[in-house]
């Protein structure tokens, strides 16, 4: 496939009325997404790209069609918890709308998203899937459905923990079912850590584990349990006699059903009535002597669980990038069709500025998430260490205003549940909260990844090398190089000073923006030098102006440059490298 190949897809979707701007329903989200296609050409190896492209196309079609319809239906017909079966037995079970079940079939069975990193052969790929292929599929999936990505991702990461830390008995008992794509045989995973005492700080966990021969029995409560009715639950508990704090936590696997098929001794007592992610059943669970098996060594539970948390954080980066892409595409659809005051919306200067404000964070998130997945593929632990919380923190944070901006672009219709916007806003907020809130991730970046692990050094080295090697105009390259150094220097300063803790978010944001600008610029230049689209170079400049620059609130901004390039960026036509270079210098 050549970089120049850009299948043109008409932007107009069928609409009930010419007066109402269309949405993206009916479009193929892979075919219309030049950015992901260009970046996979840069970063995914050729054989994998060739092999997975039909699956990207298929999921792109589903995300813009059937999956999107199902997602809106399931969002409104939320799961119901039943405490008894029809014979009066105390068998709690969750009833789902058929739309949710159909989405499960697409995610687990058709695409095997939960299994493709953990066993060979999913989607016909001879080994385990390259990380970037899996995350690109998640990115497409998230454009239609966010909630189901939790069950898919948590099953994926639960398999990893069992593969890594389980003994042979545990592996044989659970892995075949967890790795299955047959919905009748599939065992889905879940992970319960949070208790009433806290989710950010898990040191107060009280769930007690008592030894009982070859297994353990769990007593206590878990307060936030996504996928509450799933089959194989990983959780943190405190063995009897273990010390207080994190050092006393161990990792356990708790099956929903015991070997004889009977229900294990725990109950889902309530489902949460959630703001977003409404189709997924999250509940409160009480363990009453539930049978569980320890994974790995006692006292190392939190450290082992962090494998899961970090993978999940990266997945959240891709989910946020996907949801922002959907928001941006929705906003562009409206802007290209809605007329106000005698003009199409996209021709109003202020609307163009708002569209750029949706576009810039979307492209930043995609570049940084992909950089993390590439670091994972290459086994570059230091870069992965810092890029993962960076993208979790900033992309999830940006997703919120981007989703709101997309709703506002649609006007009143955006507020109505017929359209995807309201769901996108609700779902975006969850990305801020779980797998570490914004502040918890910012502390991880600055205090631990920078201050303790010195992971920023590897990142800075790689970014400098990238901008050196790419054909970026000299003056702009110098600007980028200086910014990388300033961002790294500020992160180090904040990491060193205990009194600067309140600035961790600011330092992490600056590092993210500098990182994304360097990535965007080098990607734009590399794509352009191959005869493809160099627009990411222009986006890099917008990151500098919008996200790292400061403006005087009482002065007219110098926005001549932005006005000059906005037309290029808001059109689908590629920007060749010579043109991008000229524009950059203007
Ligand atoms: C829908 C949903 C599903 C969930 N599913 C699961 C699940 O399946 N398994 C699971 O284990 N958990 C789950 N959670 C729990 C989630 O992980 C926690 O809610 C999250 O980690 C935050 O913990 P908390 O709610 O106790 O808030 P807290 O930890 O009390 O945080 C409250 C506020 O304090 C801030 N804060 C905390 N520490 C600091 C600090 N050092 N400096 C500055 N600010 C700080 C936080 O940023 C936050 O703004 C789920 C939550 C939701 C909403």
Residue 10: predicted pLDDT: 42
Lowest mean pLDDT among 11-15, 149-153, 163-167, 305-309: 11-15
| Residue pLDDT, tens place only, 291-321 | 999 999 999 999 999 999 999 999 999 999 9
- Across the range 161-174, mean pLDDT stands at 98
Query: For residue 577, is pLDDT > 50?
Result: yes
pLDDT at position 396 is 98
pTM listed for this prediction = 0.96
pLDDT at 525 over 60: yes
What residue ranges line ligand 1, CB within 6 angstroms? 191-194, 198-201, 224-226, 274, 277, 282, 430, 433-434, 437, 439-440, 443
Q: Is the pLDDT of residue 488 over 60?
A: yes
Q: What is the pLDDT of residue 2?
A: 33
- List, in sequence order, every residue forming a beta bridge with 159; answer none if it has no partner: none
Strands (E), 326-484: 339-340, 343-344
Q: Is the pLDDT of residue 552 over 90?
A: no
The candidate with the shortest Cα–Cα distance to 368, out of 541, 160, 570, 522, is 522
Nearest to 160 by CA among 175, 145, 143, 147: 175
The residue nearest atom 14 of ligand 1, judged by CA position, is 224
pLDDT reported for residue 7? 38
Burial (CB < 10 A; 0-12, 13-18, 19+), residue 331, is buried
Tell me the C-alpha distance between 216 and 232, whole Å: 15
- Cβ contacts of residue 370 below 8 Å, gap of 6+? 39, 43, 132, 135
Residue 12 has pLDDT above 90, yes or no: no
Average pLDDT over residues 443-470: 98
pLDDT at 264: 97
At residue 512, the pLDDT reads 98
Radius of gyration of the chain (CA): 24
* Percentage of the chain exceeding pLDDT 90: 92
Report the mean per-residue pLDDT for the chain: 95
Per-residue pLDDT for 15 more than 60?
no
DSSP code, position 257: B
11 has pLDDT over 60: no
Task: Identify the helix (H) or strand (E) that includes residue 290.
Answer: strand 282-295
Cα separation, 253 vs 228, in Å, equals 14
Say whether pLDDT at 4 is over 60.
no
Indicate the pLDDT class of residue 16, thresholds 50, 70 and 90.
low
> Cβ distance 537 to 584 under 8 Å?
yes
- Angle at CA 315, nearest 5°, toward 311 and 321? 150
Residue nearest to atom 25 of ligand 1 (CA): 199
381 pLDDT above the threshold of 80 = yes
Per-residue pLDDT of 197-252, as tens digits, reads: 989 999 999 999 999 999 999 999 999 999 999 999 999 999 999 999 999 999 99
Q: Which residue, judged by its Cα, is nearest atom 48 of ligand 1?
A: 437
Q: Among 158, 189, 433, name the best residue to mutate to test ligand 1's pocket (greatest count of ligand atoms within 8 A of Cβ).
A: 433
Percentage with pLDDT > 70 across the chain: 97
Inform me whether the pLDDT recorded for 262 exceeds 80: yes
| Residue from 188, 400, 437, 447 whose mutation best tests the ligand 1 pocket (most atoms within 8 A of CB) | 437
């Amino acid at each position: 496939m050549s970089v120049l190949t850009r299948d043109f897809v008409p932007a107009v979707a069928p609409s009930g009325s010419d007066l109402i701007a269309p949405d993206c329903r009916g479009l193929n989200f892979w075919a219309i997404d030049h950015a992901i296609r260009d970046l996979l050409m840069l970063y995914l190896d050729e054989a994998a790209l060739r092999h997975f492209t039909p699956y990207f196309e298929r999921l792109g079609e589903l995300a813009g069609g059937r999956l999107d319809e199902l997602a809106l239906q399931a969002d409104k017909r939320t799961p119901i918890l039943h405490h008894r079966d029809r014979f009066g037995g105390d068998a709690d079970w969750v009833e789902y709308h058929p739309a949710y079940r159909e989405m499960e079939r697409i995610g687990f069975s058709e695409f095997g998203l939960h299994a493709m990193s953990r066993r060979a052969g999913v989607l016909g790929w001879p080994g385990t899937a390259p990380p970037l292929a899996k995350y690109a599929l998640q990115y497409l999936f998230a454009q239609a459905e966010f909630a189901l990505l939790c069950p898919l991702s948590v099953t994926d990461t639960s398999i990893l923990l069992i593969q890594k830390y389980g003994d042979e008995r545990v592996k044989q008992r659970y892995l075949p079912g967890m790795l299955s794509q047959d919905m009748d045989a599939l065992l889905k995973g879940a992970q319960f850590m949070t208790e009433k005492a806290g989710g950010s700080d898990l040191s107060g966990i009280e769930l007690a584990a008592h030894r009982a021969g070859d297994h353990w029995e769990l007593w206590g409560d878990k307060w936030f349990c996504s996928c509450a009715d799933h089959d194989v639950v990983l959780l943190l508990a405190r063995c009897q006699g273990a010390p207080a704090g994190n050092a006393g936590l161990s990792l356990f696997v708790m099956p929903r059903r015991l070997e004889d098929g009977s229900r294990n001794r725990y109950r889902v007592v309530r489902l949460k009535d959630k703001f977003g992610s409404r189709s997924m059943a999250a509940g409160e669970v009480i363990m009453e002597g539930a049978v569980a098996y320890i994974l790995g060594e006692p006292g190392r539970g939190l450290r082992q669980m962090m494998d899961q948390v970090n993978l999940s954080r990266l997945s959240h980066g891709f989910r946020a990038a996907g949801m922002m892409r959907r928001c941006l595409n929705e906003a562009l659809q409206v802007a290209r069709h809605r007329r106000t005051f005698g003009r199409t919306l996209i021709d109003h200067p202020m609307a163009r500025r708002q569209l750029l404000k949706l576009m810039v964070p979307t492209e930043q998130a995609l570049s940084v998430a992909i950089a993390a997945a590439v670091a994972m593929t290459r086994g570059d632990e230091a870069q992965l260490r810092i890029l993962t919380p960076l993208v979790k923190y900033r992309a999830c944070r940006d997703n919120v205003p981007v989703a709101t901006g997309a709703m506002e672009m649609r006007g009143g219709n955006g507020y109505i549940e017929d359209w995807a916007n309201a769901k996108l806003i609700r779902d975006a907020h969850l990305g801020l909260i779980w797998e570490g809130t914004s502040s918890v991730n910012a502390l991880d970046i600055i205090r631990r990844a920078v201050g303790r692990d010195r992971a920023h050094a590897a990142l800075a080295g790689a970014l400098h090398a990238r901008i050196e090697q790419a054909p970026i105009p000299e003056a702009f390259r110098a600007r980028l190089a200086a910014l990388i150094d300033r961002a790294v220097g500020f992160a180090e300063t904040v990491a060193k000073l205990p009194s600067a803790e309140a600035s961790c978010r600011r330092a992490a944001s600056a590092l993210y923006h500098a990182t994304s600008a360097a990535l965007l610029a080098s990607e734009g230049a590399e794509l352009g030098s191959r005869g493809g689209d160099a627009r990411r170079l222009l986006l890099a400049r917008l990151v500098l102006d919008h996200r790292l620059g400061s403006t005087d609130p009482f002065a007219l901004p110098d926005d001549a440059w932005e006005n000059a390039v906005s037309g290029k960026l808001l059109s689908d036509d590629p920007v060749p490298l010579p043109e991008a270079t000229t524009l950059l210098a203007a």
